[in-house]
Amino acid sequence: MSKLRLGAVLDEKPVKLTVDLPAAIHRDLLAYAEVLGRETGQAIEPTKLVAPMLARFMATDRAFAKERRTANRNEATSGASK
């Protein structure tokens, strides 16, 4: 069995976002949902994969994490001096 980067998809209250995807990415998203569905034994709606995929991408982007930590530190410092 393959080891996909995404696990179970949480069902949280969504925020509506409309995006246009290139056809090739949409086909890959459908294929990923099919593979994940076979692996987990549950039907997966492809649109439900977008948020966890983005979250995983951002969580593993070291440059983003560094910038976010810096911004949080700066925000905490400027908030403390008020």
Q: What are the structural domain ranges in the chain? A: 23-80
Q: What tokens were used for 50?
A: 């977008």
Asked whether the predicted pLDDT for residue 45 surpasses 90, the reply is: yes
Asked whether the predicted pLDDT for residue 1 surpasses 70, the reply is: no
- Inter-residue contact 2 to 35 (CB < 8 Å): yes
pLDDT at 75 (0 to 100):
83
Predicted structure pTM score: 0.69
- Of 31 and 77, more confident: 31
Q: State how far the Cα of 68 lies from the Cα of 74, in Å rounded to an integer.
A: 10
Q: What tokens were used for 80?
A: 């403390």
